Structure 1
Amino acid sequence: MQSKAINVKEYLKEIPEERKQAFLKLRQTIVATIPKGFVEQMSYGTIGYIIPHSIYPNGYHCDSKLPLPFVNIASQKNFIAVYHMGIYANLELLQWFISEYPKYSKQKLDMGKSCIRFKKFDHIPFDLIAELMQKMSVNDWINCYESQIKKSK
């Protein structure tokens, strides 16, 4: 579900009440721990954490007018999602996340290529998400993107 919100503040107003507290805590966890240089903005109808053109002028290979995406968070119909491009592009990071997850949550990991889905909002492993955010700097993500994603397109 992509929102039509034009800014983060509007997006947050749309969050259903029963998940608002968990979603706000997830956002705050990311804002507090994501490395310097990533910028929060609306991206693909969700809240995104991107590398702006001022740092990476080439932009996203799918549309160079767009900044380079890294992480998005979304309130979907049946879950809260974290979309993390680093775990999509970096097998070592993905394996780390999968091995660490059971240490932080008794819930079964529900995951796609870059999407981590949380259907039980009171079971989001905020400390693990905080660690995940700190695993890649802006330069790490640019290097990973260029070697793993952009080269294959």
Structure 2
Amino acid sequence: MQYKADSPEDYILQLPEDRKAPITKLNNLIKKHMPKDLEAGMGYGMLAYYVPKSIYPNGYHCKPFPPLPFINLASQKNFIALYHSGMYAKKELYDWFVSEYPKHCKYKLDMGKSCVRFKKMDDIPYDLIEQLLGKMSVEEWIDIYETAINK
């Protein structure tokens, strides 16, 4: 679902009641444990955690005017989605997450290349997400990103 929000606070205010608490908890967790030098705000209609232009002035190659995205969080129609670009770009990180997930959650993993979908609001593996946030630095993300776009 798309929300017309100019700030993370406005985004959260527009959410259905059953989504406000888990999105707020995830947002706070991400802001507390995200890699150093990321900034939080809005991007692509979602909560966004990105590499600021002061660190990476080139921005995102598809649309160079926004900063380089790294993590996004969204409330979709049937689930909460956590997008982590590092899992898409680094197979070892993806494989680690897939292998760890069953140790933290009783429901089957519902995941694309970078998107983890949480359909059960009471079974979001916050501790696993906290661990994921410490697995890649901004510098590593920029290196992986530049290697991929320069091929």
**TM-score w.r.t. structure 1 length?**
0.96
* Counterpart in the other structure of 2:71: 71
Matched, 1:87 2:87: yes
State, as a whole percentage, how many aligned pairs show the same letter.
55
Aligned length: 151
Give 1:144 deviation, angstroms. 1.1
* Counterpart in the other structure of 1:120: 120
Give 1:124 deviation, angstroms. 0.3
- Secondary structure of the residue that 2:150 maps to in structure 1? helix
Contact 1:2–1:44 (CA under 8 A) maintained in structure 2:
no
In 2, Cα distance between equivalents of 1:68 and 1:54: 11
Q: Which deviations, in whole Å up to 9, do the C-alpha atoms of 1:57-96 show, x marking residues without a partner? A: 1110001111000000001111001011100010000000
Query: Structure 1: 5+ residue runs without aligned partners?
Result: none
In 1, Cα distance between equivalents of 2:147 and 2:8: 31
* Counterpart in the other structure of 1:133: 133
Q: Which amino acid letter does the alignment assign opposite residue 62 of structure 2? A: C
Give 1:18 deviation, angstroms. 1.2
In 2, Cα distance between equivalents of 1:70 and 1:3: 20
In 2, Cα distance between equivalents of 1:67 and 1:2: 20
In 2, Cα distance between equivalents of 1:49 and 1:102: 26
Give 1:42 deviation, angstroms. 0.4
* Counterpart in the other structure of 1:151: 150
In 2, Cα distance between equivalents of 1:20 and 1:59: 30
Q: Which amino acid letter does the alignment assign opposite residue 82 of structure 1? A: L
Query: Structure 2: 5+ residue runs without aligned partners?
Result: none
5 Å-filtered alignment, 1:1-153, equals: 1-148=1-148, 150-152=149-151
Give 1:2 deviation, angstroms. 2.4
Contact 1:81–1:117 (CA under 8 A) maintained in structure 2:
yes
